Amino acid sequence: MTRKELNLAIFEGTANAVLWQPRLETWIYHHQAQGTLPDRYKDLDYFGIYDALHCSVRYAACAGIEGYAEPNDIATTEERLDEHHLAVTTRTPSGEMTAIHQLVVVDGNITNQRLHDFPVKTVEHLRVFTDLVERQQFRVNMDAYQAAADAVGDRAEPTMFLTSSGFTDLIKWGAGLLDTYYLLADHPAEVEAYLDACNARDDRMMDEALKLPYRIFNLGDHATNEFTPPPILKKYLLPRWQKISARLNAAGRFVHTHWDGNSVTMLPHLQETGLDGVEALSPLPMGDMTLEQIKAAVQDNIVCLDLLPAIHFLSHFTLEETVEFAKRVIDMFAPKLILGVSDEISQVGEIEKIEAITELVDSVCGLAE
């Protein structure tokens, strides 16, 4: 069985093996850029490294949906405030808002950045943020999909990103955690109007996504205890997950969500979501959940993707500890398991542990081709 065939079979419930699918992009791109790849990987490209490790890839074939704005009445300007800060101002018919980005500069080059000051500070800013969502439109690019799927080949069943939830997007990109909750308390009607716009945007994207041959979809929700505690989860996220799952399942597709971080208070609601899988759950000591709590939540009908804490791949955990934990995960969750790192190995992660788990999977159930 190929890695692609096994990937789909796990969601279809017909698999009798484990797919080893760690996300290695951060590690690969860092060491390629720094010239620090181990000798055995130095002459290999991205896919070559995955093949040498006998790993499947998860999102390398995520292509085929193009986004655009309609009406196209949005203006964006940038101002470099100093060496390490960039102001980005967005103007729509409702007004304007400004985000401040903190830049990581190495040898005069911007190598990374993070959101330093959120753009949504008032309800007026929220209306601007809502304008952006209302203008998001989507169209299919079948050639882009086919090129990406052909490049991945038999390494994986292509998986497509859909949108994150509007609520967690407001936290991540709009207002931050505290100001999102202040906005909800002070201006519930405006926040819910924004969420309605996000739900309509989701429908527009799915209209196009269902024109593509993708069988597996991901919702990059980044749901956590802190972002979406049970009262928020039940009111704003559960109905969304149920609606999306029902629509995709009716079309013969599968969908999973991304819960990275502390999620123990959300686990009891997992069976209500209608989702086919959950990605990036982080067990103790990285997150706040035991493997037993996760197993009780997913039971035998929900696929787990990942489950190996990223910190296990740092030097203060031994190779033996990492492999033994991986064996426990396989014993508890297979065959409803796509084994990976929650949610990916870091730049300083030890690739020898990835290699060791490749050997473990091979010894337990054999590696897919």
- Look up the CATH number of the domain holding residue 41: 3.20.20.210
Q: 134: which residues sit within 8 A by CB, 6+ positions away?
A: 197, 200, 201
Q: What is the DSSP string of 238-304?
A: HHHHHHHHHHHHHTT-EEEEE--S--TTTGGGGGGS--SEEE---BTTTSSB-HHHHHHHHTTTSEE
Range of the domain at 132: 65-141+168-202
- Co-location of 191 and 293 in the same domain: no
- Co-location of 183 and 279 in the same domain: no
- Co-location of 335 and 248 in the same domain: yes
- Co-location of 105 and 26 in the same domain: no
- Co-location of 217 and 356 in the same domain: yes
pTM tops 0.85:
yes
- Co-location of 14 and 78 in the same domain: no
Q: Does a structural domain hold residue 159?
A: no
pLDDT at 111: 87
pLDDT at 214: 98
- Co-location of 192 and 224 in the same domain: no
Q: At what angle do helices 188-209 and 238-250 cross, to 10 degrees?
A: 10
Helices (H) and strands (E) counted in the chain, each on its own, are 13, 13
Q: What share of the chain is helix, strand, coil (3-state, %, to 5)?
A: 45, 20, 35
Report the number of distinct structural domains present in the chain. Answer: 2
Q: Is 319 exposed, middle or buried (0-12, 13-18, 19+ CB in 10 A)?
A: middle
- Co-location of 240 and 331 in the same domain: yes
- Co-location of 224 and 362 in the same domain: yes
pLDDT at 219: 98
- Co-location of 217 and 364 in the same domain: yes
- Co-location of 355 and 319 in the same domain: yes
Q: Does a structural domain hold residue 232?
A: yes
- Co-location of 29 and 116 in the same domain: no
Q: Does a structural domain hold residue 154?
A: no
Last residue of a domain, one of 152, 180, 202: 202
pLDDT by 10s per residue, the chain, length 369: 999 999 999 999 999 999 999 999 999 999 999 999 999 999 999 999 999 999 999 999 999 999 999 999 999 999 999 999 999 999 999 999 999 999 999 888 998 999 999 999 999 999 999 999 999 999 999 999 999 999 999 999 999 999 999 999 999 999 999 999 999 999 999 999 999 999 999 999 999 999 999 999 999 999 999 999 999 999 999 999 999 999 999 999 999 999 998 999 999 999 999 999 999 999 999 999 999 999 999 999 999 999 999 999 999 999 999 999 999 999 999 999 999 999 899 999 999 999 999 999 999 999 999
